[in-house]
Structure 1
Amino acid sequence: MTQAPPDPPKRPVSRELFGERLVDDYAWLRDRDDPAVRAHLELETARAEALLDARTGELRAQLYAQMRARIKEDDRSVPSPDGPWCYYSRTEVGDEYPRHCRRPRASESAPEQVYLDENRLAEGHEYFGLAALAISPNHRLCAYAVDLDGDEIYTIHILDLDTGELLPDTLPGCGSSLAWADDGVLFYTRLDDAHRPWQAWRHRLGQAPSDDQCVHDEPDERFYVSLYRTRSRAYVALSIDSNASSEMWLIPSAAPEAAPSLVAARREGVEYGLAHRGEQLFVLTNDGARNFAVELWPLPGAAGPSARVFIAHRDEVLIEDIEVFADHLVVWERCEGLQRIRVVPLAPMPTHAGDDDAPAPGEHLISFPDPTYSIWSGANREFSTSTLRFGYTSLTTPASIYDYNLDSRERVLLKRQEVVGGHDPSDYESARVWATAPDGARVPISLVWRGSLDGPRPLLLHGYGAYGMTMDPSFSRMRLSLLERGLVVAMAHTRGGGELGRHWYEDGKLAHKHNTFDDFIACAEHLIADGWTSASQLAATGGSAGGLLIGAVANARPELFTALVADVPFVDVLNTMLDPSLPLTMMERDEWGDPTTPEGFAWIRAYSPYDNVREQAYPDMLVLAGWNDPRVGYWEPAKWVARLRERKTDAREILLWTNMGAGHGGASGRFEYLHEIALEYAFLIDRLGLPEQPPA
């Protein structure tokens, strides 16, 4: 079984584009109806598992047991108040999925109601994903969207919480976005053939789905539609977004049959987000403000003062999001790569806020202790409250949930993620260091390790760097299985992400995408030169767009790494961006470029991993795919592995493992996905020479 499988046959498909002949020898692997394709993937998967087990014995099983043992199986989230109820989720021993519960707010001793048990819904299905859950304003109904294949095509169901019965209102073929207007009207999105949420629909309870009305149809294939209800509950917001522009509409909750009102028309490169309070809208926008500003706008059609700046643009501070409550504005900011929370009192309404002007009375920042960390907004369901719930974690501190009084500034720890068996943060160290890219840009690296550093150690470098998404440092119970074996784990915050502001993103996309790869290579070189590790001890990992990063640096600088893990890697960039029938392609051209134009073709052709595999030595690799993946087709990693094996000049192993029952996110369930992590960890432990058992 450990013998290499026969190479997939070549069936060349060629085309001429901008004077270059492109040959795709393995295009046939995209035909999922061809039995030979599935047989090939299953053989590769079986071989990868057998080869790894032959080298490491029972290590995968031991890792799974270790990681599962750290999870508190009977656990509960912090109850979140909403009207007459407190909502929370919990798990029991053996549960793969949470049970969604509530109890009357007035009495903590009142019996709980388990209104949705995901374990029951998942019975008989290899995959289960709950994408959205929304409670109606009167707390009588629950709408939820489920995916049973991993292909991200959802069916919406509506549950009567008084009777426990499902209503006959079943809506198939939907996106993951939904919002209640009132107790009888639900808004949702539908998908086109390319899996793009392209329409917003209105459903009135009791009517046939065929009688639903489309309230917005988006013909531009670069844009997708999403919905949410404002925290004030006065409006359903309709957001039409591409990767570079957006447009906003509002529908009054009290008049759900009304036509949407345009708030902000789309303009190329201009993005919007909004929140409602009283007679005003708080609008987050980058119109003339690269790092975004907050403006006050009147409601659509309302007379009154015109738009004015409330928080001005600042070169050194990126505004990532805003939350509006009855008496407070909460601003989620990022400065020098670190997140922070700004609190601005709104009663009475100040005339301005922000660093460029005198702060409003009571305005302040919430501070955090670690050198590198991550924060996020919690379940803040209510509008009229002076309490902000947020989460905090660092590379050494488990996820912690706090309630923060926006007036008194008192911070109360409600829950810290339990690590069964114990975890002492003082046993671990974290740091932030900086590498220098070829063009002089300083690139932050976050690191965590256990014990003292007395010389170069095996190190795992993780990267992503796309879509302006930030890869903020966080604690992982699973990662302890690597740290306790002596591994240093590092995160390279490359351009293409949003860690250092909007320019950090824009300098790592389109014509500047090479900066993402240059930054990652610079981080690897810095960690070697500074004595953290050596090339023979350095591994790297990334998933999706991070898998593209792994593929690009593998082609460019394979000698820097001894092992690579590419999880659902987006490696066939040129062919995918040339095919408008694939999910996301048209929307993604704002990120990667349009290869039907000479400049877009040149950008992508220069780095697309599949198209740049060379006759050279490559590190050991583990490549993972998902058979039902709608974002990165399983054929991308399969084709890439075939071409790597064909052209590489060394005897190192390249393993391909495909989850035949899941999609982009891998296995569902809180324990089932641990098998995939155990596979990756066993590969890394073996290739990096780490001990199979942690030192006592």
Structure 2
Amino acid sequence: MAATVRWVLEREDRVLVSAHAGHVQRAPFDGVPTLGGLLAAELDHDRDLVVVGTTFTSGPAVRISDRSPRPFDWDVALDEGVPSAPLDPAAGAFDLVLDLGEVHRVPGAFEALRRDLALPYPPTRTVGVVATQAGVAVPDPYRWLEAEDDEVHAWQRRQAEIATGTILGGQDRAALRALVERYDAGARPDLPKHAAGRWFRADGAAVVVAEEPFGTGRPVLTLAEGEVLSWLAPAPDGRILAIGVCTDGSEHNTIRLVDVVSGERLPAPPQVLHSAWAGGVSWQADGGGFWFFALTGTPEEFTQATFHHALATDETTVEPVPVPAGSREYTLVQPSPDGRWLVASHRVGSPVPVAVRDLTAPDGGTWRPFVTGCTGTVAGHVVGDRYVAVTDVGAARGRVVAIPLDAACPSDPATWTELVPEGPTVLRTLTPVGEHLYLGELDRTFARIRVLDRAGTPVGEVPLPGRGAVAAPFFALTGLAVGAPAPEHLFAFSTLTTSWSVHRHRPGAAGTETLLAPAVTLDATVEAGEAPAADGTLVPFHVVRPAGTDPAVPAPVLITAYGAANVPTLPSYQPDLAAFVAAGGTLVQAYLRGGGELGRDWYLAAHRATKHVRDDDLVAVAEHLVATGRTTPDRLAVTGGSDGGLMCGVALTTRPDLWRAVLPRAPLLDLVAGMRDPYLDFVIRKAWGDPDGPDDVRRMIGRSPYELVRPATYPAVYVQAGANDPRCRPWHARKLVARLQAAQQGTAPVLVHVFENAGHGAATGHDVIVAQDVEWLGFLVRELGLEI
């Protein structure tokens, strides 16, 4: 930095210095002087002038000390502010020939200054490793960052310090946190579970049993500090409560059994559940035991099986469910409420009832194949002696069918009875409620709920509070783990501008009852739009902008999207995104191909060999927003998590010119290394291609952000990851950022923060989530010039 000061002062008599963190002074790290501060100390104030402010020239103001030379108080100018004036006129008024405000936009002469202004990233060595996958050689110079050893952890901690210092060092941390907390309505509520006339629910650290869904009730147990509830499942008779407890944010959880009356902790199986995706436990109808899906080895090995636990003997045995050989997919056992049938549903994203067992047969019956060889979804429940399900087989937007459990040819769709035909909406979920079935649908992304009788005939519709989203598990299989049917339907609802509320509908009732009102309302306007993709397909999106803003004026815009795994992005409330809008940003939520918003064809359009279509759709939305005057590339950011984080990485490395900032969260970023990880190998084979096929590997390399990094001018990058993430392990973030820091030819920061006691999100503690959101929002405020 001292060399930079000398370089400036040797060349110019009068200097304009921008205080906008990130371009000239870089963020003021604790204990590290800024360029502006050092120049201010060196200048002769009888002759020179220091101007302090942002570097934008399209409207934001610059703080200026005075129009006449006088001693300059750097701290006062930063902390208290002074009269404002546009940057360019201010520079011209003082005949300032050197504008250091946008160094990264100035060619040639400032290369030395660029180098001097580089952030103090920790030294990052490279290794001569070349990975070979299906005979394809792939250089992997940062392979060592995949380790979890002292060297890597020291590097990781230093990177986290740099990220926090860069983002928050020049900002009002208290104001950022207050803004995040103001719009933090908590996570999407987990609905109370019904058993034997009572309701069980989480209430802070306690699990409460009450006569009403949100009645006062009494605590059955209280979790210790650091424990997170993964799921809960009361026995049908309500005597015993099973819960899953996670202690490190990883989603790995163990079963805990508690006597509901006494609170006594009972013996429980020792197995570790990889996650809550298979619903926790599925109770026998008589409450004498349960089935669950758990790891058979270490979490890293990712081998799982279905188990049965008998309470009377405290015995846990493997349940011999006939699933496809070699499958790593999740399996959920669905017992019928009358205790006769067991159905095994297999595959987390597109479940199919692959096996059935009649417990009334001699010796409890044996498992036999049911619906096999099906590539689509058949997701439902046992209703009497039939399996009633939503399926996309023969109907891209879904239909409701019934399959007799004793059918001779259950795998043949021609033998299924159609109850609800395909229509203009996308059918997603089916929930048994008393003697009825509640059918969840998406109407151009917005929720709809119809009521069916046991024969499958539509008999009504649930009036929703508005155009918004009804909460559903991330994956379809989890939604099948409902336990015994409740006598009334509870559902959580939100919109893009109102936080989650909970409502009750009783079959036959004309209206609903609000059990929990929304806690937060965002003062914003919601609009719908469509962007033309390269092939002419119209990609829908929603715009959420602060109320009273003019849509004709280019705004700081953040695009969020997912577009993967047949999972729909819902038009629902998210606290971090709401805080961004409250800070003056415009949010664009895009519904890209690969997601489940518009049906199976929409999903398959960006799947495996066509996965790139998702990334092309994102670019189409971004370019449309620029072309229509909504924003400009220097005020445009993108964020996404998990596979959406990979989407961000592809956008960053293939179109760095399109973005001011890119923010992947809990991301998958190195597909080639992922092929060596048992869990990601499972995911990649489903969603991307064959890791053993050379052509597929070469295609995947072309969409793997880590492999796509080349020397270039990149936008500002901030990657968040969890140290205990079992899905997208933190080395994805470490490796990409190391390679980007070495390849960055511009001055924008490339930052990574791996948070301790955090995972992929579902089991991360609330305090950690708030800290993540504060830093994430601070980065956007810093880069997009927002005011808080």
Match of 2:496 among 391, 395, 400: 395
Structure 2 CA distance for aligned equivalents of residues 480 and 294 of structure 1: 36
Mean Cα displacement is larger for which, 266-275 or 488-497? Answer: 266-275
Asked if residue 646 in structure 1 is aligned to residue 768 in structure 2, the reply is no
Structure 1 CA distance for aligned equivalents of residues 361 and 392 of structure 2: 31
Structure 1 CA distance for aligned equivalents of residues 541 and 398 of structure 2: 25
Structure 2 CA distance for aligned equivalents of residues 344 and 308 of structure 1: 18
Asked if residue 62 in structure 1 is aligned to residue 175 in structure 2, the reply is yes
How far the C-alpha of 1:326 sits from its partner, in A, is 4.4
Instruction: Pick closer, same or farther for the CA change 1:399–1:440 going to 2, 3 Å.
Output: same
Equivalent AA in structure 1 for residue 681 of structure 2: T
Structure 2 CA distance for aligned equivalents of residues 338 and 569 of structure 1: 27
Give yes or no for contact 1:327–1:384 (8 Å, CA) kept in 2. Answer: no
Structure 1 CA distance for aligned equivalents of residues 575 and 778 of structure 2: 16
Equivalent AA in structure 1 for residue 332 of structure 2: S
Structure 2 CA distance for aligned equivalents of residues 543 and 632 of structure 1: 10
Give yes or no for contact 1:201–1:216 (8 Å, CA) kept in 2. Answer: no
Give yes or no for contact 1:200–1:217 (8 Å, CA) kept in 2. Answer: no
Other-structure match for 2:164: 49
Structure 2 CA distance for aligned equivalents of residues 63 and 516 of structure 1: 33
Relative to its length, the structure with more strand (as a share) is 1
How far the C-alpha of 1:678 sits from its partner, in A, is 0.3
Asked if residue 411 in structure 1 is aligned to residue 512 in structure 2, the reply is yes
Equivalent AA in structure 2 for residue 685 of structure 1: V
How far the C-alpha of 1:605 sits from its partner, in A, is 1.6
Other-structure match for 1:141: 240
Task: Please report the RMSD computed on the Cα atoms of aligned residues, expressed in angstroms.
Answer: 3.2
Structure 2 CA distance for aligned equivalents of residues 607 and 253 of structure 1: 48
The percentage of aligned residue pairs carrying the same residue is 26
Instruction: Pick closer, same or farther for the CA change 1:263–1:393 going to 2, 3 Å.
Output: farther
Match of 2:283 among 177, 180, 195: 180
Asked if residue 39 in structure 1 is aligned to residue 145 in structure 2, the reply is no
Asked if residue 570 in structure 1 is aligned to residue 668 in structure 2, the reply is yes
Match of 1:383 among 468, 485, 494: 485
SS state at 2:168 partner: helix
Other-structure match for 1:357: none
Structure 2 CA distance for aligned equivalents of residues 397 and 150 of structure 1: 27
Structure 1 CA distance for aligned equivalents of residues 184 and 420 of structure 2: 44
Equivalent AA in structure 1 for residue 393 of structure 2: D
How far the C-alpha of 1:506 sits from its partner, in A, is 0.4
How far the C-alpha of 1:365 sits from its partner, in A, is 6.9
Structure 2 CA distance for aligned equivalents of residues 254 and 170 of structure 1: 26
How far the C-alpha of 1:257 sits from its partner, in A, is 7.5
Asked if residue 215 in structure 1 is aligned to residue 313 in structure 2, the reply is no
Equivalent AA in structure 1 for residue 313 of structure 2: Q
Other-structure match for 1:605: 701
Give yes or no for contact 1:465–1:494 (8 Å, CA) kept in 2. Answer: yes
Other-structure match for 2:390: 284
Mean Cα displacement is larger for which, 182-191 or 522-531? Answer: 182-191
Match of 1:328 among 433, 436, 440: 436
Other-structure match for 1:293: 399
Match of 2:309 among 200, 203, 212: 203
Match of 2:652 among 550, 554, 563: 554
Per-residue CA shift, 1:296-327, capped at 9, x if unaligned? 22223799999443235537432212123443
Unaligned residue ranges in structure 2 (runs of 5+): 1-28, 33-118, 474-478
Match of 1:461 among 552, 559, 567: 559
Asked if residue 102 in structure 1 is aligned to residue 102 in structure 2, the reply is no
Match of 2:761 among 665, 670, 675: 665
Per-residue CA shift, 1:50-85, capped at 9, x if unaligned? 2223232x32x3322343355579x99986654332
Structure 2 CA distance for aligned equivalents of residues 644 and 256 of structure 1: 64
Structure 2 CA distance for aligned equivalents of residues 613 and 369 of structure 1: 44
Instruction: Pick closer, same or farther for the CA change 1:65–1:185 going to 2, 3 Å.
Output: same
SS state at 2:679 partner: coil
Give yes or no for contact 1:215–1:259 (8 Å, CA) kept in 2. Answer: no
Structure 2 CA distance for aligned equivalents of residues 640 and 72 of structure 1: 33
Per-residue CA shift, 1:332-382, capped at 9, x if unaligned? 222333332222234xx36xx5xxxxxx5x355756643x54555999876
Other-structure match for 2:122: 6
Instruction: Pick closer, same or farther for the CA change 1:332–1:662 going to 2, 3 Å.
Output: same
Instruction: Pick closer, same or farther for the CA change 1:324–1:301 going to 2, 3 Å.
Output: same
Other-structure match for 1:116: 221
Other-structure match for 2:251: 152
| Paired residues, number | 653
How far the C-alpha of 1:384 sits from its partner, in A, is 6.8
Per-residue CA shift, 1:648-689, capped at 9, x if unaligned? 211210011011322221873333310110010011101111
Structure 1 CA distance for aligned equivalents of residues 179 and 748 of structure 2: 29
Structure 2 CA distance for aligned equivalents of residues 79 and 157 of structure 1: 18
Instruction: Pick closer, same or farther for the CA change 1:584–1:237 going to 2, 3 Å.
Output: farther
Other-structure match for 2:111: none
- Normalised TM-score (structure 2): 0.76
SS state at 2:737 partner: helix
Give yes or no for contact 2:195–2:235 (8 Å, CA) kept in 1. Answer: no
Other-structure match for 2:81: none
Give yes or no for contact 1:250–1:262 (8 Å, CA) kept in 2. Answer: yes
How far the C-alpha of 1:627 sits from its partner, in A, is 1.7
Structure 1 CA distance for aligned equivalents of residues 777 and 271 of structure 2: 38
Other-structure match for 2:102: none
Instruction: Pick closer, same or farther for the CA change 1:567–1:257 going to 2, 3 Å.
Output: farther
Structure 2 CA distance for aligned equivalents of residues 162 and 100 of structure 1: 13
Q: Which has the larger radius of gyration?
A: 2
Equivalent AA in structure 2 for residue 616 of structure 1: A
Give yes or no for contact 1:380–1:389 (8 Å, CA) kept in 2. Answer: no
SS state at 2:768 partner: coil
Structure 2 CA distance for aligned equivalents of residues 603 and 415 of structure 1: 48
Per-residue CA shift, 1:509-544, capped at 9, x if unaligned? 111111101100111111112222111111111111
Asked if residue 337 in structure 1 is aligned to residue 456 in structure 2, the reply is no
SS state at 2:617 partner: helix
Q: How does 1:257-656 map to 2 (within 5 A)?
A: 258-262=364-368, 264-300=370-406, 307-311=415-419, 313-314=421-422, 316-346=424-454, 349=455, 362-364=459-461, 366=463, 369-370=466-467, 373-374=469-470, 376=472, 383=485, 385=487, 387-419=488-520, 423=521, 427-454=523-550, 455-577=553-675, 579=676, 581-656=677-752
Unaligned residue ranges in structure 1 (runs of 5+): 92-97, 354-359
Give yes or no for contact 1:185–1:256 (8 Å, CA) kept in 2. Answer: no
How far the C-alpha of 1:102 sits from its partner, in A, is 1.3
Match of 2:142 among 26, 33, 42: 26
Structure 2 CA distance for aligned equivalents of residues 473 and 390 of structure 1: 15
How far the C-alpha of 1:628 sits from its partner, in A, is 1.6
- Normalised TM-score (structure 1): 0.86
Per-residue CA shift, 1:469-498, capped at 9, x if unaligned? 111111234444322221111111111101
Other-structure match for 2:36: none
Other-structure match for 1:95: none
SS state at 1:628 partner: coil
Equivalent AA in structure 1 for residue 219 of structure 2: V
SS state at 1:215 partner: coil
SS state at 1:497 partner: coil
SS state at 1:672 partner: helix
Give yes or no for contact 2:701–2:707 (8 Å, CA) kept in 1. Answer: yes
